[in-house]
Amino acid sequence: MRKLSGNHAGWLTTVAREVREAGKPVSLQFLVNVVPGQFATSTNDGHVTAAENGLDRNDYRAGQRIWVEEAVTALRKAGLVDGPDDALVWTSGQDGTWQVRFGRGKPTIYGRAESAAAADRHMLGHNEQPGYLLRGWSEASVEIKSGIRNVIKPGRHTLEVHPLALAIPPMTPAEQEQVRADIAEHGVRMPLILYPDQADKTARGTPKVKVLDGRHRLQFASALNKPVRVELFEGTEDEARQFIKSLNLDRRHLTAAQRALSIERLFGEQARREAKEDQIRKPETTDSVRVNPAEQNNGKSEKRRWEYRALELAGGAGISPRSVRHMAEVVKAPETVAKIENNEIRTVTAAVREAAAELGKPAPTNVWQDTVRAELGRARGHLKNVLDQLDMPTELTKPGELGEILVEIEQITHEIRDALGKQGVL
């Protein structure tokens, strides 16, 4: 056996996969042409292996050929590949797991079903351990069917996820499984939306285009080898933030902590900047945020103004201004943020306590009471808005449905009163 120095498992498993997936005889030259492009270390492996076998070190392709030839020899000895060099065929089943002696080790080769399962574990996680998607994996290689003129050409590209998209926590494992199953059966039916990242430039000085919407479709398309279509989002960065907000905060079933985290990431800096620039700005009342008139004065602190401005930018998003304020501190605790994204911490109160412990700070004592007071105040504001609407006579098409909602509100009110009573608050 000739000397090999480098990624033994990468070369062996890639050669095996190409022969197995071909579905017809393939030549050794075909493998020499396609295998090196499948993993990152192939060029360096070629240089070193060429030198160790007495060839010109600069002739890395000669070294790569040695790798492919030796991998084919190992697969033949294991009884997995047969045939002459111009007509190699896979002789075992499509599914299964095999260990093959190659160099000093025995790399594991996975069949089709096992490879798909491994790819899912890689992305989704396994045995309660989060996979790449839940840990913020932010790029993948996919085949683009039709490009965008002057932006990206058709062909295989490695696409990164735009920072604005990463502001939103990933889907839950159950949601990801549903998306994966749909893509496996139907392919990627919705295009990936690309947007330039002004903070990340190419070697030519132009902003890189990254995936603004479709990060999960990107990952599963890569894992399942499904082609994608791409479109370009043409708008300002503020419009891009609103685009992300409307697709996720308005439609996804996010926890209160995840909503507050997303608002801080998307609008926190903008809100603080605008509050600082406009010292006399009054918060505007929206359908989602009913502002106490006593707070609508020019003496409101800058901190209070940016809380309301962030919620104004986010359209309310179903959380209180205090939640926005608390999340500005929570984001400084990366382990706590990871637990929020993984759905391990669901409330802002729990996030504040966890973040304080992580940062070695005393836990605030009034977070729970402040949050409950704020949420009840918002609920009261919404109900008063409903009462105002009833001053305008109109024809009720579903009066029974409104009655059911009121009964449910009364039931929830009783449950809150009982819970607060047990806490000794009432």
pLDDT at 421: 75
**Structure-block tokens of residue 278:** 């406009």
Task: Of 2-11, 210-219, 368-377, 408-417, give the lowest mean pLDDT range.
Answer: 368-377
> Do residues 222 and 138 touch, judged by C-beta distance below 8 A?
no
Q: What are the tokens at 94?
A: 């499509």
pLDDT digits (tens, 9 = 90+) for 47-66: 999 999 999 999 999 999 99
Q: Parse the chain into domains and list their residue ranges.
A: 8-110, 118-236, 256-394, 397-426
**pLDDT above 80: residue 303:** no
Q: What are phi and psi of 177, to 5 degrees?
A: -60, -40
- Candidates 227, 216, 193; CA nearest to 132 is 216
Return the bridge partners of 2, or none: none
Q: For position 268, what pLDDT does the model report?
A: 87
pLDDT higher than threshold 90 for residue 31: yes
Q: Mean of the per-residue pLDDT values for the chain? A: 82
Q: Are the beta carbons of 198 and 176 closer than 8 angstroms?
A: no
Residue 286: pLDDT band (50, 70, 90) is very low
- What does the pLDDT read at residue 288? 43
Least confident of 22-36, 45-59, 63-77, 285-299: 285-299
CA distance 172 to 191: 21
- Residue reference for tokens 């840990």: 135
- Structure-block tokens of residue 333: 């605790």
User: What is the reported pLDDT for 61?
Assistant: 94
- Greater confidence, 389 or 148? 148
Distances (CA, A) of 247 to 189, 251, 253: 17, 6, 11
Please classify residue 305 by burial: count the beta carbons closer than 10 Å to its beta carbon, then call 0-12 exposed, 13-18 middle and 19+ buried: buried
Q: Answer whether 326's CB lies under 8 Å from 260's CB.
A: yes
In this predicted structure, the answer to whether residue 190 has a pLDDT above a threshold of 50 is: yes
What does CATH list as the number for 8-110? 1.10.10
CA–CA distances in Å: residue 233 to residues 197, 200, 211, 212, 236 = 12, 17, 10, 8, 9
Alpha carbons within 13 A on the beta-carbon side of 292: 14
Q: Is 35 within 8 Å of 68 (Cβ atoms)?
A: yes
Alpha helices by DSSP H, listed for 92-172, are 112-124
Helix or strand run (H / E) with residue 400: helix 399-422
**DSSP symbols for 349-398:** HHHHHHHHHHTT-PPPSSHHHHHHHHHHHHHHHHHHHHHHHTTS----S-
In the 8-state DSSP scheme, what is residue 200? Answer: E
Phi, psi (deg, nearest 5) at residue 7: -85, 85
Q: CA-CA distance, 119 to 106, in Å (whole number)?
A: 21
Asked which of 99-113, 224-238, 343-357, 403-417 is least confident by mean pLDDT, the reply is 403-417
